[in-house]
Structures are given as C-alpha cells and as structure tokens.
A and B are shown apart, each in its own frame.
Chain A
Amino acid sequence: MKQAMSSLLGRRAVGRHTNPASRARTAEHAVSTGRQARRRHALLVKVNLAAIVVVLGPLIIYPLLRLIWLSLSGTHGLSLQAYRAFFSNPETRGVIGSTLAIMFASAGLASLLGVLIAALLFFKPFPGARILTRFLELFVAFPSFLVAFTLIFLYGSQGSIGILLQHIFHLDQPPLNFLFGSGGVILAEVIFFTPFVVRPTLASFATLDMRLLEAARSLGAGLAMVAWRVVLPLAWPGIAAGTILCFLLTLNEFGIFLVLGSAHLLTLPVAIYAAATVDLDLPTAAAGAVVMLMMSLTLYTMYRRVSRRGSRYGH
C-alpha cells in the first residue's frame, strides 16, 4: 500500500513540478504527512476494534459468562449442585448418551448420503441435475421444524406413504409407525442436514483437476479405485469440513426434536428447554446448557480448524 501510494504521489508530483527543489520538498512533505496519517490510522484501528468488542460483549460474551456463573453458583458460593440436580433427575439420566447416539446416527447417515448424492450429481449428471442442485441450495433456507412437520403427513401412522405401502402390499394396517421417536427424528435430521453436506462436497469436487482422474482411468484404474485413491484424498478437506459441520448442526438442532421427539425421546436441548421454561429452574437448565456448550464448542473448534486448512490448501 505504501509503495503504491508513494509511487502514485511521486508521479503526480513529477507531472506538476518540473523544478527539482520543489519536487524534493513535495516528496518530503508527502512522507511526513504519510507517517502522521499512518499513526492516526493505527490509533483509529485500535479504537475501532475496541468498539467492536464493546458491542459484541453484551451480545455474546456477557450472556455466556452469566450462564456459566449461574450454573456454578450454589447457595454458599461455588458449587456443583446444579449439575448434580440436572443429571440426578431420573428423567434426564441418559440424556447425554441419547443425544450423542442420535447425533452419530443421523449425522453419519446424512454425511454418507450427502457425499454419495454429491458424487452422483457431479460425476454422473442426469437431466435435471442442475435444477436439483439449485433446489438443494435453497432447501437449506427451509426451517427445520417445518421439515419435521411435513413428515407427519408423509410417514406418520396415517401418512400418505404408509397408506401407499398398505395399498401396494395389501396389508391390514398401515405399516409405518415410527415417526414420533428416535426413528422419526433420525429421518428428519437426515433429510434436513444432507443438503448441508452436498454443498461443500460439490464445491470441493469442482476444484478437482479432472486431468488427474482421466490419467488414472487411462492407466487402468477402475471406478472404485479412482474414487478411493484419487477423488477422495483430493476432495477430503471439503468433505471433512462438511461432515463436521453436519455433526455440529445435528447436535445443536432443536425444532425437529420439539416436533417429533419431545414425547418419547429426551435429548439435551429439549431437557434444557424443559428445565428453563416448564420447571422454571434456571440454575439446573444452565448446568445442562454448559455441558452442551462444551460439546458444541469442541466440535466447532474442530470445524474451524479443518475448514481453515481446507481453504488454505484449496487456493
């Protein structure tokens, strides 16, 4: 920046003043004002960053500190009473296990399906693949609770797909009865979060050097070998980032649980929500929230690390 500025200034100065003495004076003047301006600029940058921290403080930092503080404060100073209360409640005992199980099942399935769909859309495009890709990009803006809700019409015990299967196979009763519970939650999460994997995976496929794939093919590698030994290692940063993002979003999901799972399946977000708004017990809810905060932030740190590495190698 400095160089560009001085060279431009210099050229202009040359154009205006032909006399060497005045040229030197102008240059000197430019340098000194430049230094002053730079110092002022540095101060301005610092003040500006401080102002941002002042704005972000009440928005993010202060609430989180209050949350942690409330979860740790008992009647007499520091205590873990709220944590004990949250986890000794017989209803919430297995809540971490069930949350993690749901997360691994649905995010794992969604990642596999997302990578597979992205690969098929990219390497075996069919008529309409482009429209479908655009649709999947828009699908991300569809609220998750709405996805869960529509599944009631489709896969509920009186839903149209169940009735359709009943007609096809001449059954006495509609065969589907899994929606309000872990099965339905996993189905809804797979449907909602698969597009989140498809997008970054497609993006990382798009950066592949197709000549490498052709070279591998011409050297006699089969499709499976090309996929496993060439495509996967090259596209891995994008796929990993998408997969971790999918796990993170699945862990943080709430609307789907509320619509489909609140009756039979207790997960951490629903337990926190119930403790805060039904039992009106904020310290206990805060304890659960801090545990969840730790889990989410761990995954989130992983995501930031992987996605940064991916973008560094990508460009």
Chain B
Amino acid sequence: MDIKLTPPALVGQRVGPLAAKRRVWRLAGWGVGAATALLCIVLFVLPVIVVALSSVAEHWSGTILPTGYSLRWFERLGSDDWDAVATSLEVGFSVALLGTALGLWIALSLEGRDRRGVGAVVDALAMMPNGLPSVVLGLAVLIAYHKRPLDLSGSAAIVMLVQLALVLPFCYRCCAAALRPELQVLREAAASLGAPPARVLLRVVLPQMVPALRASVALGFALSLGELGATLTVYPPGFATVPIVVVGEVERGYYLPASALSLVLLAVSLLALCLIAARLPGRGSEPKPKP
C-alpha cells in the first residue's frame, strides 16, 4: 500500500504561510482520493469490465486489449449452454421463492420472542448455513439423501434442497429486518379492532412487507445463480447450472466461451433483479388502521 493519510513531512511543517500549507494539504487530500479511486477501479471495477470485454473478444492472450471483436462466442453457445441457463433460472426462482416463504414463516413465528429457549434454537438453526462451507453442506446432503430411504441423488431436487438451505439465512434475515416495532403497533391495532389473525396477516402485515419480500426473492435468486460449491458436490448426471458449465470450460482452457456464458448469466440475473426489485410506482401510501 502506498497510500499515506498524513505524509509525515507535511505534519512537521508548522512554519510558513498558512495559505501555502492549506494548498499543500488540499493537494495531498486530492492525491489520496485519486489513489483510492484508482486502487478501487483496478481491484474491483476491472474484473467486471474484463468479463464484458473478453466475451466479445476475437482473441485475447499476450496483448493488453483483445485483438479484434466479434459476437461469435455468443453465436456458438450451444443448446447445452442454453439448457444450463434455463436450469439455472428454474432452480434460482424455485429456491428464491421457497426460501422467501420459509424465511417469512420463521421470521413471523419468531417475531417478538426473546432470544431464549425454542426461539433461540430455531433462530440459530435457520442462520447456521451462513457459517457452513458450501462444500461441507453439499457433502452432508449428498450423504443423507444418496441412498434409501430417500434417494434424491438422481434428481434436481437435491440441488434445490441444498441451495434452499444455503439461501435460507439471507431470506430469513431480510424478512426479520422488515418486522419493525411500528408494524407490531399496526398489527395490535388491527387485532384490537376485531380483525382475525389471518386477516391481520393478509391485509396488514404482508402488504407492509412487500419490499422486504422482493428483496429476499432477489437476494435468494442472485445467490442461487452464482452458487458453485454445494451444487458441484451434489449435482446429478445430466444436470448442469451455468456456474458448473463455466468452471468446466475454464478448467479445460476455453476462456472466451466461458466469458460469453458468464456474461449471459450476469445479464439474466441483473435483468431478473431489476424486475423483482424495481419499485412499483404509486406505492407510497401506507395502509393505516382507521380510527
């Protein structure tokens, strides 16, 4: 790291005209800002640019920029690749919806409970996959469900199961964060006005939670699309998601086709995220209990 917050030479410089000192300080601050921006761009922005650039490159090895650009890697994406995209989307949506439903259920059930007893156990369990290595969870699910009494090792269900476990903590956190104390007041008001619990849930709580539910679906979807470790450990023969295909191509040295497929994955997931998380217009008014 060559960034210095306080260049020692400048700190020691007490004498001299104040304006000059201030100018030096401003220059130093400017330099620090520029260095940070440059560092961040090199480290974090460049990889994203590279995916886009390499997928339209004719050839890119041994040169600074690609030599020639074309769309031929996209044209060469075969039916296997598109099947993988379809599988990824299917698994991603199912996992995101299931995870959100389960997360919402757990969040509603644990709301307002002090974190002790059964509530604490359920909370810890739902959050636990967050701390598990994906390969370990994948291996555990494979061991549990690869032979009778329940053999899932030949179907896509085992992939969904393992991804559901991995996504659950994020969905649960998302829903639990939305159950604010204000919402509790609304619920009590509705209940005190005679609304049965089911009606309170449907007409008061769920409408208030729509943004959180959308965020949860979007997050679950994005995580599922990019998941590699657990999926690679459990996936049945004849099944492939985009990450599996991409990693396979990278390992065999087909870098440019892998880039094209990755870009398709990123574009699809970005599109889906925008569709899911886009704010509906005119949803500003919050339903309030009538006096």
Contact = CB atoms under 8 A, between A and B. Distances in A.
Interface in A196-224: 222-224
A171 interface: no
Contacts of B255: 149, 152-153
Contact of B226 (A59, A143, A272): A143
Say which size band chain A's interface belongs to. Answer: 35 or more
A303 B143 contact: no
A79 interface: no
B79 interface: no
Contact of B136 (A49, A223, A289, A300): A289
Contacts of A174: 62
A238 interface: no
Contacts of B273: 141
Contacts of A151: 47
A67 B143 contact: yes
B128 interface: yes
Contacts of A21: none
B50 A150 contact: yes
Nearest to B35: A120
A108 B225 CA distance: 28
A5 B192 contact: yes
A158 interface: yes
B131 A299 contact: yes
A145 B34 contact: no
Interface residues of B, number: 87
A164 B142 CA distance: 46
B156 interface: no
A8 B193 contact: yes
Interface in A41-84: 45-46, 48-49, 52-53, 55-56, 58-64, 66-67, 70
A117 B243 contact: no
B131 to A, nearest CB: 3
B88 to A, nearest CB: 11
Contacts of A222: 6, 11
B11 A117 contact: no
A282 B143 contact: yes
Interface string B16-57: 000000000000011011101101100111111011001000
A139 interface: yes
B268 interface: no
B140 A289 contact: yes
B222 A59 contact: no
Given A60-B125, A289-B140, A252 B132 contact: yes
B132 A276 contact: no
B131 A153 contact: no
Given A66-B143, A259-B247, A286-B143, A53 B122 contact: yes
A160 B63 contact: yes
A251 interface: yes
Nearest to B44: A139
A145 B50 contact: no
A145 B255 CA distance: 13
B165 interface: yes
A135 B34 CA distance: 17
B119 to A, nearest CB: 7
B105 to A, nearest CB: 7
B71 interface: no
A52 B109 contact: yes
A55 B47 contact: no
Given A120-B32, A141-B226, A297 B131 contact: yes
Interface string A105-145: 00000000100110111001111110010011001011111
B89 interface: no
User: By CB atoms of chain B within 10 A, which of A147, A153, A160 has the most?
Assistant: A153
B130 A8 contact: no
A272 B139 contact: yes
Interface of B: 1, 3, 5-6, 11, 29-30, 32-34, 36-37, 39-40, 43-48, 50-51, 54, 60-65, 102, 105-106, 109, 118-119, 121-122, 124-137, 139-145, 161, 164-165, 168, 188-189, 191-193, 222, 225-229, 232-233, 243, 246-247, 250-251, 255, 258-259, 262, 266, 269, 273
Given A124-B33, A143-B225, A194-B44, 20 more contacts: A59-B164, A59-B168, A66-B140, A120-B33, A124-B32, A126-B37, A141-B226, A142-B226, A150-B54, A158-B61, A174-B62, A194-B43, A251-B133, A254-B232, A259-B250, A276-B142, A286-B139, A286-B143, A293-B132, A300-B130
15 contacts: A4-B192, A53-B121, A56-B126, A59-B168, A63-B140, A67-B140, A150-B51, A150-B54, A154-B50, A254-B133, A259-B247, A259-B251, A269-B229, A276-B142, A304-B131
List the 9 closest A-B pairs by CB distance, nearest first.
A300-B131, A126-B33, A143-B226, A254-B229, A63-B140, A67-B140, A252-B133, A150-B47, A63-B144
